[in-house]
Amino acid sequence: MTDGQSFYFILVVFYLMECVKFAPPGSQALVCHLGKFGACSLRQPVTTAWGLKKSVFLAPLLPWPSALYLAPGYAPEQTPATTIARVSSIRHHQRFLRKATQPLRALAVLNLLNFFALLPAVYVRTYDERSILWTLAYCYASLIATAIHYHRLHRRLLPREQADRFKTTLYTALLPWHAPRAADLILLKGSLRWSPLAALAANAKNPAILKQLQYHWRAAHFHPKPRFPQAALATAFREAGLDPSDWLAKPKELDGPQYCPCCHSGYEKQATRCSDCDGVELQPA
């Protein structure tokens, strides 16, 4: 391996490490494709970092056009006072975050192209020390411009997090693998204020999320310890324009003589309770 290849190998490894995101335990991630909120796809954690008590997610590998948000895993009684609880407020907040981070995401793409395309191209094509040094100076100038913009944006959106701002601005100015992911921090921190239930309801156009909301609705009726109370679910559904009136009906396709009214799994005759839903009583098909 040449020096250049080793340098890029390390750059890629560090960049991939930047794509790993930590969130409070029990969180789910929402991946917004092409800036379209409302039909975000769900992303489950790849693992749990037990030592840190965090769920670990893998963000989309490019800083644009997809974006990662979080539906935090708070229990209703732990929900902080700053939570954005209404579906319409979450939609509004997401639009605000997307708009505010647009220039930062454009700079992210520029930094990615500078370090992963322009610099190696100049190196391979010219082998000229002077040209390489000028390109490197330009690449670092764009990093510093990104850091200045990031600092201003962070101060506007997260005014109280001064320690975090100082650290991440420094990383953005100095580390070519960090700068392309600088916008992630703001989007993730911003979305951690969303109520998990309302964030899911705002994205009910996605079939997997709709299925999960239907499960929570049945759990609120049949499960001994549902994650969300019935009243909170009803409010979120009303706000999102969802009608749950037929969500408690029998599943259309049954794969056993009995079924669990909560998760809709089929069971044989000998079983009496669902093994996945804390012993919910089975119903005849």
Nearest CA-CA partner of 28 in 239, 209, 258: 209
Q: In the complex, what is the shortest distance from the CB of residue 260 to Zn ion, in angstroms, rounded to a whole number?
A: 3
Q: In the complex, what is the shortest distance from the CB of residue 221 to Zn ion, in angstroms, rounded to a whole number?
A: 12
Q: In the complex, what is the shortest distance from the CB of residue 218 to Zn ion, in angstroms, rounded to a whole number?
A: 9
Binding piece for Zn ion, criterion CB under 5 A, among 102-110, 199-207, 230-238, 255-263: 255-263
For Zn ion, the binding residue among 189, 263, 266, 271 (CB under 5 A) is: 263
Q: Torsion angle of alpha carbons 233, 238, 241, 243, nearest 10°?
A: 70
With CB under 5 A as the rule, give the number of residues binding Zn ion: 6
Q: In the complex, what is the shortest distance from the CB of residue 262 to Zn ion, in angstroms, rounded to a whole number?
A: 4
Binding piece for Zn ion, criterion CB under 5 A, among 74-82, 97-105, 196-204, 253-261: 253-261
Q: Does 277 bind Zn ion (CB under 5 A)?
A: yes
For Zn ion, the binding residue among 276, 278, 279, 283 (CB under 5 A) is: 276
Three-state SS sequence of the chain: CCHHHHHHHHHHHHHHHHCEEEECCCCEEEEEHHHCCCCCEEECCCEEECCCCEEEEECCCCCCCCEEEEECCCCHHHCCCCCECCHHHHHHHHHHHHHHHHHHHHHHHHHHHHHHHHHHHHHHHHCCHHHHHHHHHHHHHHHHHHHHHHHHHHHHHCCCCHHHHHHHHHHHHHCCCCHHHHHHHHHHHHHCCECHHHHHHCCCCCHHHHHHHHHHHHHHHHCCCCCCCHHHHHHHHHHHCCCCCCCCCCCCCCCCCEECCCCCCEECCCCCECCCCCCCECEEC
Q: In the complex, what is the shortest distance from the CB of residue 242 to Zn ion, in angstroms, rounded to a whole number?
A: 22
Residue pair 247/210 in contact (Cβ under 8 Å)? The answer is no
For Zn ion, the binding residue among 197, 262, 267, 282 (CB under 5 A) is: 262
Residue pair 15/58 in contact (Cβ under 8 Å)? The answer is no
Q: Does 220 bind Zn ion (CB under 5 A)?
A: no
Closer of 125 and 225 to Zn ion (Cβ) = 225
Closer of 6 and 283 to Zn ion (Cβ) = 283
Closer of 63 and 226 to Zn ion (Cβ) = 226
Closer of 62 and 285 to Zn ion (Cβ) = 285
Closer of 122 and 262 to Zn ion (Cβ) = 262
Sequence-distant (6+) residues with CB within 8 A of 177 are: 11, 14, 15, 17, 18, 115
Q: Does 255 bind Zn ion (CB under 5 A)?
A: no
For Zn ion, the binding residue among 32, 40, 71, 260 (CB under 5 A) is: 260
Q: In the complex, what is the shortest distance from the CB of residue 265 to Zn ion, in angstroms, rounded to a whole number?
A: 5
Binding piece for Zn ion, criterion CB under 5 A, among 4-12, 110-118, 134-142, 262-270: 262-270
Closer of 41 and 230 to Zn ion (Cβ) = 230
Closer of 31 and 263 to Zn ion (Cβ) = 263
Judged by the rule CB under 5 A, the positions of this chain that interact with Zn ion are 260, 262-263, 274, 276-277
